[in-house]
Structure 1
Amino acid sequence: MSERRGVVRRYLSSRKNIAGMAGALAGVGLHLAGVIGDVWPVVALGLYGVGALVGPADPAAAPRLTDALRADAATLVTRIEPRLEALPAGTIPAVRRIVEVVRLVLDRLDEVADQPADRAAAPERLALAAEIVRVDLPMCLDTYLGRAPSTSEERAAAELVAQLDLIAAAADRLAAQVPDIHAERAEDLTRELRRRYGQP
């Protein structure tokens, strides 16, 4: 229902609707000027249709950075899954877990809290999520996969595991910093109900 309401709201503010309304007003104006008689509702409706058809379309909305980062994270996982044999055991689950935490952060950032402090901190938190997805994870994986044949596989694997642990800890800290708006709203509602119904 809310999705349908959003579609209607977007159309009402669209350029095509505004052009149609201008046409309909022109039809009403022609009636008031005495140019057309009792058929003015049909003329106004026709002019609305013409205006809506020839009116310019709204420019396409630019993709949000959070959506682009989700796509980058999905691409990264898809890129390394075929290399399962070339990676140390547990690498892909570790990367998936980091990506899931980053997705959680991105979901929360899409609904910036009402608190000014949270809104002000959102760009920095988004930059940290982007660094994890676009820089840190790819660099660690590419460094391991692109190592020289003479490099000790055991040592390189240990370094990769340590790097993924550091990135996972950073992602967890980031998730802890970004408020969960839905949980906060639920807590606020519980407090309000306790206050109203006299329970501690």
Structure 2
Amino acid sequence: MSDRAGGARRYLVSRKNIAGMVGALAGVGLHLAGVIGDVWPVVAVGLYGVGALVGPADPAASPRLTDALRSDAAALLTRITPRSEALPAGTVPAVRRIVQVMGLVLDRLDEVGDRPADRAAAPERLALAAEIVRVDLPMCLDTYLGRTPSTSVERAAGEFVAQLHLIAAAADRLAAEVPDIHVQRAEDLTRELRRRHGEP
């Protein structure tokens, strides 16, 4: 759907349009009651305009959770980039890769397919994505960066690397579970073509 068509659809169900329609219907009602004569179309249009102008605006739409998670992931990368020298070798690319995989998961969750199993699993998958982005990654970073001076750097680095490895594996599993709707559609089309035309 184009932005223009989407905007038209949103306006049709907006509070301002509904208020305008009530005003227009009031104009038609006044004509039917005999209060106004042949100028009723002009009155109805005028009352529609007044209703649309004074009608309440729709409440601002809440940002989608997937967009908020993308923003949180980007903020995490912004936070670690200046401190890359304080982190163990290879961990910054590991965090970037996890964030990239989570971006792919969030993109796929934005377009959940029509299969009932996918729709039913979407909330749980979104919750897992939120846990990785908002809890697991920040907690690992905070634990490593907030260690006391007496903590062994080697041991802390080893634990941090192990934690990132576990999170990366969880992110990869989640990415494998969340279907790519475009691939699904292509597979469905291939099956349909095979059914209709047989194997080549």
TM-score by length of 2: 0.92
Question: Post-superposition shift, 1:155?
Answer: 2.7
Match of 2:115? 115
**Structure 2: 5+ residue runs without aligned partners?**
none
Amino acid at match of 2:96: R
Question: Post-superposition shift, 1:111?
Answer: 2.1
Match of 1:28? 28
Q: Secondary structure of 2:141's partner?
A: helix
Match of 1:144? 144
Aligned partners of 1:105, 1:35: CA distance in 2, in Å?
A: 61
Question: Post-superposition shift, 1:117?
Answer: 1.9
Question: Post-superposition shift, 1:191?
Answer: 2.1
Matched, 1:64 2:64: yes
Q: Secondary structure of 1:71's partner?
A: helix
Aligned partners of 1:57, 1:46: CA distance in 2, in Å?
A: 19
Aligned partners of 2:99, 2:183: CA distance in 1, in Å?
A: 21
Q: Which moved more, 1:56-65 or 1:8-17?
A: 56-65
Deviation sequence 1:15-74 (CA, Å, 0-9, x none): 110110111111122222222222222111111000000111112222222222111111
Aligned partners of 1:151, 1:92: CA distance in 2, in Å?
A: 21
What pairs with 1:90-101 in structure 2 (closer than 5 Å)? 90-101=90-101
Q: Which moved more, 1:159-168 or 1:57-66?
A: 57-66
TM-score by length of 1: 0.92
Aligned partners of 1:55, 1:69: CA distance in 2, in Å?
A: 34
What pairs with 1:39-188 in structure 2 (closer than 5 Å)? 39-188=39-188
Q: Which moved more, 1:62-71 or 1:40-49?
A: 62-71
**Count of matched residue positions in the alignment of Structure 1 and Structure 2:** 200
Aligned partners of 2:18, 2:150: CA distance in 1, in Å?
A: 68
Q: Secondary structure of 2:66's partner?
A: helix
Q: Which moved more, 1:130-139 or 1:152-161?
A: 152-161
Match of 1:196? 196
Amino acid at match of 1:57: A
Deviation sequence 1:77-135 (CA, Å, 0-9, x none): 11111111111222221111101111211222222222222222222212211111111
**Structure 1: 5+ residue runs without aligned partners?**
none
Aligned-residue CA RMSD (Å): 1.6
Match of 2:4? 4
Aligned partners of 1:7, 1:194: CA distance in 2, in Å?
A: 39
Aligned partners of 2:50, 2:75: CA distance in 1, in Å?
A: 44
Aligned partners of 1:198, 1:128: CA distance in 2, in Å?
A: 41
Q: Secondary structure of 1:37's partner?
A: coil
Percent identity for Structure 1 against Structure 2:
86
Question: Post-superposition shift, 1:158?
Answer: 2.2
